[in-house]
Amino acid sequence: MARIGGGLPKTSYILTVRELVRQNLRYFVFAILAALALRVFFLLKFPHITDDSRIYADIAKNWLLNGVYGRTYDPGQIVPTDSRLPGYPAFLALVFAIFGIENYRAVMVIQVLVDLGTCFVIADVARRSLCDRAAKAAFLLTGLCPFLAQYSAAALTETLEIFFTALALEFAAIGLNGLGSGQIRPWLQCGAAVAACILLRPDGGLLLAAFGVYFGILWLRAWRKGSEGAPPSPRVLCEVRVGILPRRTQRTQATVPIVRAGLVLAAVALSPLTVWGARNLHTLHRWQFLAPRFANEVEEFVPLGFNRWVSTWIADYTSTEEVYWSVPGEKVDASNLPARAFDSPDQKRRTLQLLDEYNNALNVSPELDARFAALAEERIRAHPLRYYVILPALKIADMWLRPRTEMLPPSSRWYEFDDDRKWIGLAVGLGFLNLIYVAAAIAGLIRGRPIAWAGLGISYIVLRSLFLGTMQNPESRYTLECFPVVIWFASALWRRSIHAHV
């Protein structure tokens, strides 16, 4: 295997995506039509506007019409907020300004077009790291992926987040291929794409962290191997050959392109957050560079004890829907709690008593929250391995492998097989298709044909999965941001030759 930072021979870049499409016009015409038809189907049959959609839209309207980045709690009362990052509200405000206030249909149509753009971007990543045949496969795998298509018909951040994640990977591929040439522009563009990811969702920062891990690996290898770790400049190469540069200087020179790329990327990616943080300090009188973990307002009480108790047993999306999302404001049916929520009959009795008190008030008071916290600590002390290892692993598995039906009619309890037959069939079918995508990615990665810069994609998937294991509300949509990498790896199954680098 060649070095991690390597790229493909220059002859592999003769064809641009535009030329690839032109030379395979019939293939791409049918692929584009199929991808568009799938997205239009979801747009017409299953458009989705959630509570989160309305929050984003409310912020966008207030920002557009009143110049206040805030939420409406009472008629005529707009309260400045930092509960949501400004990326998606800015997008909605732009669409509303052009097509009319609360024109969600226009939002979804634009997202359909953005999602089609994602097909081209992922295809180009596959072309640069593998070959043209893999690029064609990547385009089709993206275009016909129902998990991506259904979110283009939802007024949520996922479609834009996935597009900018793929775009960051593409610019990284360009930059890594010319790492020793001193190019800055690809890393400026990559940083801008990462910044967009962060401004859309706080967990977009995980992409920047993945770049940090990958650049760290590149730096270590470059330091160990000296000038072989990264392509040096012609001047440095000449000085190495004639023995002018000592070994330590060779190592330093070999790592300079990596450090430069990382600094440029990080500076561009984080610079918008300084503006956002300054706004929050000026308006809300607190430093907040992202959004609060629980999307709460400045003075809003967060039931941390209840959340910690939930984390001692929750492992699947069904419990998120039936229990976590119900609090506050809706009653919790204690019969929906899994057996792992209790360690003893006495603990079950106390738990049901706490839930009864909540159901009577439909709110978690500080006193009740403290009792949930005490119960959580008791359970964590009794079973630390379950809390810190087993449950996070189960949550990660659920988010990766559960049928992605949360935006569709099938019940979240599809596995009980008591729903309508057609919806049970849809859930099973989507679950099987999801397994195919994941299995194809693993097979493409390990079949013995290295993928250029695969370490970057692996870093992102691992970091994101570990982070998701810490969340109280496991949802399958949180792994969709990894699908550009999944499809990229899966496209390696259509690769003919072995000439890439990991």
CB–CB of 438/196 below 8 Å? Answer: no
Specify whether 334 is located in the same domain as 227. no
Q: Per-residue pLDDT tens for 227-249?
A: 444 444 444 444 444 444 455 55
Q: Averaged over 202-225, what is the pLDDT?
A: 93
How far is Cα 189 from Cα 54, in angstroms, rounded to an integer? Answer: 31
Query: Which of 366, 390, 414 finishes a domain?
Result: 390
Q: Note whether 192 and 234 are same-domain residues.
A: yes
Indicate the residue among 274, 295, 316 that finishes a domain. 295
Q: Which of 91-100, 243-252, 486-495 has the lowest mean pLDDT?
A: 243-252
Confidence tier at 120 by pLDDT (50, 70, 90): very high
Are 134 and 247 in a shared domain? yes
Indicate whether 316 and 202 sit together in one domain: no
pLDDT tier at 7, thresholds 50, 70, 90: very low
Q: Which class for 101: exposed (0-12), middle (13-18), buried (19 or more C-beta within 10 A)?
A: middle
User: What pLDDT is stored for residue 424 in this prediction?
Assistant: 95
Residues 288 and 363 in one domain: no
260 falls within a domain: yes
Q: What's the rounded Cα separation, in Å, for the pair 108 and 156?
A: 9
Q: Are residues 116 and 48 in the same domain?
A: yes
Q: How many domains is the chain partitioned into structurally?
A: 2
Share of the chain above pLDDT 70, in %: 90
User: Is residue 319 domain-shared with residue 272, that is, in the same domain?
Assistant: no
CB under 8 A, 24+ apart: contacts of 355-362: 358/327, 358/332, 359/331, 359/332, 362/328, 362/329, 362/330, 362/331
Looking at every residue in the chain, the average pLDDT score rounds to 90
pLDDT over 90 (residue 280): yes
Residue 441 domain-assigned (yes or no)? no
Residue 431 resides in a domain: no
| Per-residue pLDDT, 16 | 72
Cis geometry, peptide bond prior to residue 328 (ω within 30 degrees of 0): yes
- Sequence-ordered list of residues with C-beta below 8 angstroms from that of 262, at least 6 positions apart, any chain: 211, 212, 215
Where does the pLDDT of residue 3 fall: very low under 50, low under 70, confident under 90, or very high at 90 and above? very low
200, part of any domain: yes
- Output the pLDDT for position 247: 54
pLDDT in tens, 432-455: 999 999 999 999 999 856 899 999
Residue that finishes a domain, picked among 269, 295, 321: 295
Could you list the residue range(s) of the whole structural domain that residue 336 is in? 304-390
Q: Is 423 part of a structural domain of the chain? A: no
Tens digit of each residue's pLDDT (9 = 90 or more) over 170-197: 999 999 998 878 789 999 999 999 999 9
Q: 10-41: per-residue pLDDT in tens?
A: 433 335 778 889 899 999 999 999 999 999 99
Query: Does any domain span residue 426?
Result: no
Q: Are residues 171 and 291 in the same domain?
A: yes
pLDDT in tens, 67-87: 999 999 887 799 999 999 999
Does a structural domain hold residue 455?
Answer: no
Q: Are residues 226 and 100 in the same domain?
A: yes
Q: Which pLDDT belongs to residue 499?
A: 42
DSSP helix/strand/coil, 208 = helix
Residue 118 pLDDT > 50:
yes
Question: Quick check: helix, strand or coil at residue 419?
Answer: coil
Does residue 212 share a domain with residue 170? Answer: yes
* One domain for residues 274 and 308: no
Residue 452 in contact with residue 173, Cβ under 8 Å? yes
- Short-list 403, 495, 488, 502, CA closest to 162: 488
Based on the domain organization, do 235 and 110 belong to the same domain? yes
Q: Is 213 exposed, middle or buried (0-12, 13-18, 19+ CB in 10 A)?
A: middle
3-state secondary structure of 475: coil
Is residue 355 situated within a structural domain?
yes
